[in-house]
Amino acid sequence: MNKDSKPSWYDELSKQPFGRPQWSIEQQGSDLLRSFSHPIRTGRKIRRLSIQLASLTLLTSLIIVIVVLTRPGENTNNIGIREDQSWNAHNDYSINGVVQWEVFPGGDHLIAGKPAGARWLINKPIAELLDHKVKIVAYHQDTGMVLEELPEMIITEHTAIEINRLVVSVGGAVTKTQFVSEMAMPLAGKWLFQMELDGAPFGEVVLNVQDGE
């Protein structure tokens, strides 16, 4: 059969039905992938948004905690300071008028940001204090900042020495145990130094620190 002898309906067989592209397995697969990819992308966006919201909530909570802990002058009563604590400057701790211990910073004045060193003297012979633990914590009045002036230390003949000091009030020499700390306060203002002996509070002193500028 030649071309001229073909009937008119023969040419219609090569045309696409309904004016649409020919259907194929490849096309069906592509259509299915497109239909599924949209909810997948939406799910991923929702998960990313949830993670971002959770991170933002955590960051906000952390900022609130930091602000509360560092708010000037409002948190000192929560860190070992009594509500009736006096912030008058004094360098010794006494019970019924008897000095229990005292501190002598180095230099004429304590200046913020400059190490001065300090000598701490407990009014007991070293033999009575051997193997006991001592610790000193410092509290800043205005900001509530807390520092370990002296991390917990075991009193031994290597960490402390025994000295005799003349005390006018008792009319003679008193045997004391002395140890030292760095004492480099970062902020100007009043600092309260609380001593602990074997984990129990053992009095406090208050020192003024001058501005370094």
pLDDT at 127: 96
Domain boundaries in the chain? Answer: 22-70, 76-81+88-209
The better pLDDT of the pair 75, 175 is held by 175
Q: What is the mean pLDDT of residues 138-160?
A: 98
Average pLDDT, the chain: 77
Task: Quote the CATH superfamily of domain 76-81+88-209.
Answer: Immunoglobulins (2.60.40.10)
Q: Output the DSSP codes for 97-146.
A: TEEEEEEEESSSS-BTTS---EEEEESS-HHHHTT-EEEEEEEETTT--E
pLDDT score of 164 more than 60:
yes
Give the model confidence (pLDDT) of 191-208 as tens digits: 999 999 999 999 999 999
